[in-house]
Structure 1
Amino acid sequence: MSGDDTDGIVIDEPNKTIHIRRSYRAGVGRAWWAWTDAEAISRWWGPQGWMATVHEMDVRAGGRWRFQIAPADGSAAPVRSIATYTNVAAHAELAYDDEFADEAWQPDGTGTFPTTVGFTSTGTGCTVDIAATFPDQRALRRAVELRMAEGYAEALGRLAGLLDDMQTDHTVEPATEGATTMPALPTVTSADGTTITYEKTGSGPAIIVISNVAEDHTGVAGIATALSEDFTVINFDRRGRGASGDPQPYDPAREIDDIAALIDVAGGSAALTSGSGGCGLALDAAAALGGKVTGLYLYEPPFIVSDSRSPAPADYVEHQEALVAAGKRSEAVEYFMTTMIGVPAEYIPMMKQDPSWDEMAKYAHTYAYDGRILRGLQDGTPLPTDRWSIDAPIAVAVGGNGEPFIREAADALATILPSATVITLPDHDHSAFWMAPDAVARQARAFLLG
């Protein structure tokens, strides 16, 4: 702010920029959460008396944030905007190109306004600095006349109230009945500087729960809770999910670095567990990290090792990336469901009515992420014999009501990994890791501790 470190507004006419600064008692982690969580930002974004609705929030370079604000009393029409993120540096900076949109969510032609939001720690608190740049002096004057800077300042004031409530009560009052948003979770910095958010519960030997495609740590909260009776459980947001960072380009090897950092949090060693698609990452991490991994419990790895079912299309990853790049996130979910899961097309309209569909669409970019990890494991050919060398004991669990190709893959895995044992979870199917966490936890506990 031109050398001024005090809170307030500065109109920088020569550089066609408006600067707004606000200090908070809360730390950077909580301020970052409030700017990158759709439910959170909808509670404070916009000037006093206005309500915000978030229609899309994909916090990563190239991702979009679509929102509208409207006066609560209906005295004016809604204002719609599309912001495309150009830089996302977790807990440090958000940069996006903002433009107004019409009712069809198309840019209205008034121009693009590059905006940078910086986050700086100040010991126990933090400061947030906003710099909004305009294409010309005329656009800047119009923004000043429309009191855009004051609107920003009022919004940051509302944010102060939200963060102060968190400081006092340790939870945020629910925006809707029955919902509670918790404060920001602890974080660890991975080898490439990416912030990884995690939750640590329970006591005993350490175990890290690895979530599946298109879900953050809340998706595996059931198994994490069940395991916490006998383990110190670390449940985390994989990169690109939840509050963790997502630098580009994506590299599967960085996810192994994330797990290594979490093992350090656990004290230097931990078991790993995952269900379905996350099993590929668990195996890769165990092979790379050697003695730091004390054991694995894998529930129904979805490997396809023969022609017993259709393999993944050769261009699966590229097709998913193209859909997300085109903003077709719902179509990306549909492609995954019909092509990889085998859901009949006539069931899709009904599935789209469930709130979980929107959550999957939010994380649609992770289909390509996990697709990269699972390359060579779902193409209908034998498993590679040189990908994994693991000495730690491995349980490959198969539901008694599971599909035959899953058991075929489990047997194939045990053939190439001498430390692997195939075990059956009677009376359960592929969903057990999420829908029957107590039964899964009992079996994992018996294998890893017994």
Structure 2
Amino acid sequence: MPEGTADGIVIDKSSNTIHISRTYAAGVERAWWAWTDPKAIARWWGPQGWAATVYEMDVRPGGRWRFQIAPEDGSAAPVRSIATYKAVVAQAELRYDDEFADQAWQPDGTGTFPTAVTFVPAGTGCTVEVTAGFPDGRALQRAVELQMAEGYAEALDRLGDLLDAPHTGTPSPERETIMSDLRTVTSADGTAIAYQKTGSGPAIIVISNVAEDHTGVSGVAQALSGHFTVVSFDRRGRGASGDPQPYDPAREIDDIAALIDVAGGSAALTSGSGGCGLALDAASALGGKVTGLYLYEPPFIVDDSRAPAPADYLEHQEALIAAGKRSEAVEYFMTEMIGVPAEYIPAMKQDPSWDAMAKYAHTYAYDGRIMRGLQDGKPLPADRWSIEAPIAVAVGGNGEAFIRQAANALAALLPNATVLTLPDHDHSAFWMAPEPVAEQARAFLLG
């Protein structure tokens, strides 16, 4: 029979599990953030008097969470663990297999502990339930003797301090503002897609680039919000959105369709660089739901004006991710696709942005699937897109020649496409110069 305690701990010897639940005044959205943001979870994870350090947190099926907890007074040795995510349902459920690790981050052989965390709305708040499993009764008894359940309970109490006292417990005002504005919509396959809606006027959906969530395009989204109702979102596999496997580019089109419904049934689309391939695919598939497109510097390679993508680019990226070599995946993208000289890479790795890209390194393969056939140094496929909405293909006046060649090729292929130039800007303008980009988009889409 399960044994309960006053702390809400249930020890079930029949299933070799420890179950703990807590109800908080904060909503599911905020609780999810606290469990999936590495800076947030470091503030509460572990029992009272212990400090947590997060070394890796890749919240997606197959992704890892590496962390250490250590007593603040140095009274005991640090404890290291590796959790491998098995299921991620945004703002609903996390499942992971937990293992203790040695100093070299290798499993120490004590076993794997399956853990499930669920997030359930409770009025205006939420209930978080944790169920930790153990391989056998002996392992469960050892956990009881080590007071693992009490440690979990203390950690969930510390979580309450963070959730229920936002003005004193949030990692940064900026992050809290972003999180409080996020909503979710359910895509056709049941995946939760997190999005943010700002501004007023005709709807426009901003599609982010590879290896970034919706915050990566926050500048252009804000600049557009003066004339549009702007929807920016976490593409699947990024931020607070789900990432069921296997990945299928068609599901990203379903996500955009769901967001168009949120926006009122029709919307323009905009993106920069690699996101332009998805924007075109979505516009072609969704027909009249898309009112127009503004594409900034699609990086298509249509001739010999630059080297094409490696023939095995996608397979190589997928192999790197499967091997857990996320930093190497970023390096491969930078050197082989962007053309960054190898000698620049060590300095780039010292910048915090490198870790952010490594977090989303799996998306290089995702976008590689979308961009397949568009970066081979050959003419664009004549039968891939059929779009009646007006299309602006913008290039920077200081941009590379192959980008302009691609823009002209796209305009020759699609009768409603117009090539525009953004003077005095280069490929980075969609992110670094959002105001002139937004103005050009507004002028084209709204006349």
TM over 0.5: yes
User: Number of paired residues?
Assistant: 445
Q: Do 1:7 and 1:22's aligned partners in 2 also have CA atoms closer than 8 Å?
A: no
Distance between the aligned counterparts of 1:332 and 1:411, measured in 2?
31
- Give secondary structure in 1 for the equivalent of 2:176: coil
Distance between the aligned counterparts of 1:226 and 1:77, measured in 2?
50
Distance between the aligned counterparts of 1:340 and 1:441, measured in 2?
27
Match of 2:304 among 300, 304, 307: 307
Q: Do 2:397 and 2:423's aligned partners in 1 also have CA atoms closer than 8 Å?
A: yes
Residue in 2 that maps onto 1:346: 343
Shift of 1:284: 0.5
Q: Do 1:6 and 1:21's aligned partners in 2 also have CA atoms closer than 8 Å?
A: no
Shift of 1:237: 0.7
Distance between the aligned counterparts of 1:3 and 1:264, measured in 2?
48
Distance between the aligned counterparts of 1:244 and 1:7, measured in 2?
32
Q: Do 2:4 and 2:10's aligned partners in 1 also have CA atoms closer than 8 Å?
A: no
User: Which moved further from structure 2: 35-44 or 400-409?
Assistant: 35-44
Residue in 2 that maps onto 1:327: 324
- Give secondary structure in 2 for the equivalent of 1:247: coil
Shift of 1:14: 2.4
Mapped pair 1:72 → 2:69: no
Q: Do 1:50 and 1:69's aligned partners in 2 also have CA atoms closer than 8 Å?
A: yes
User: Does the C-alpha gap of structure 1 residues 207 and 330 become closer, same or farther in structure 2, counting only changes over 3 Å?
Assistant: same
Residue in 2 that maps onto 1:113: 113
In structure 1, what residue type is equivalent to 2:395?
V
Shift of 1:9: 0.5
In structure 2, what residue type is equivalent to 1:384?
P
Distance between the aligned counterparts of 2:188 and 2:3, measured in 1?
33
In structure 1, what residue type is equivalent to 2:297?
E
- Give secondary structure in 2 for the equivalent of 1:83: strand
Distance between the aligned counterparts of 1:58 and 1:5, measured in 2?
34
Mapped pair 1:62 → 2:59: no
Mapped pair 1:156 → 2:164: no
Spell out the pairing of 1:14-53 with structure 2 (5 A cutoff): 14-53=14-53
Residue in 2 that maps onto 1:243: 240
Q: Do 2:68 and 2:81's aligned partners in 1 also have CA atoms closer than 8 Å?
A: yes
Distance between the aligned counterparts of 1:254 and 1:68, measured in 2?
36
Q: Deviations over 1:214-261 (max 9, x none)?
A: 001111111111111111111111111111111111111111111111
In structure 2, what residue type is equivalent to 1:229?
G
Shift of 1:49: 1.5
Distance between the aligned counterparts of 1:77 and 1:4, measured in 2?
30
Q: Deviations over 1:352-400 (max 9, x none)?
A: 0111000000000000000000001011111011111111110000001
- Segments of 5+ residues of structure 1 without an aligned counterpart are none
Residue in 1 that maps onto 2:266: 269
User: Does the C-alpha gap of structure 1 residues 132 and 423 become closer, same or farther in structure 2, counting only changes over 3 Å?
Assistant: same
Shift of 1:76: 2.2
User: Which moved further from structure 2: 10-19 or 431-440?
Assistant: 10-19
Residue in 1 that maps onto 2:11: 11
Q: Deviations over 1:76-112 (max 9, x none)?
A: 2221100011111222221111001111111111111
Residue in 1 that maps onto 2:205: 208
Q: Deviations over 1:266-297 (max 9, x none)?
A: 11111110000000000011011111111100
In structure 1, what residue type is equivalent to 2:67?
F
Shift of 1:4: 8.7
Give the TM-score of the pair, scaled to structure 2: 0.96
Mapped pair 1:229 → 2:262: no
Shift of 1:7: 6.8
In structure 1, what residue type is equivalent to 2:79?
V
User: Does the C-alpha gap of structure 1 residues 15 and 57 become closer, same or farther in structure 2, counting only changes over 3 Å?
Assistant: same
Residue in 1 that maps onto 2:365: 368
Shift of 1:18: 1.0
Residue in 2 that maps onto 1:91: 91
Mapped pair 1:446 → 2:443: yes
Distance between the aligned counterparts of 2:263 and 2:353, measured in 1?
31
Give the TM-score of the pair, scaled to structure 1: 0.95
Shift of 1:2: 6.4
User: Does the C-alpha gap of structure 1 residues 405 and 5 become closer, same or farther in structure 2, counting only changes over 3 Å?
Assistant: farther
Residue in 2 that maps onto 1:220: 217
Residue in 1 that maps onto 2:416: 419
Distance between the aligned counterparts of 1:51 and 1:11, measured in 2?
26
In structure 1, what residue type is equivalent to 2:48?
Q
Distance between the aligned counterparts of 2:322 and 2:53, measured in 1?
23
Distance between the aligned counterparts of 1:40 and 1:188, measured in 2?
24
Distance between the aligned counterparts of 1:219 and 1:308, measured in 2?
29
- Give secondary structure in 2 for the equivalent of 1:274: strand
Shift of 1:319: 1.0
- Segments of 5+ residues of structure 2 without an aligned counterpart are none
In structure 2, what residue type is equivalent to 1:9?
I
Match of 2:176 among 173, 176, 181: 181
Q: Do 2:3 and 2:10's aligned partners in 1 also have CA atoms closer than 8 Å?
A: no
Residue in 2 that maps onto 1:377: 374
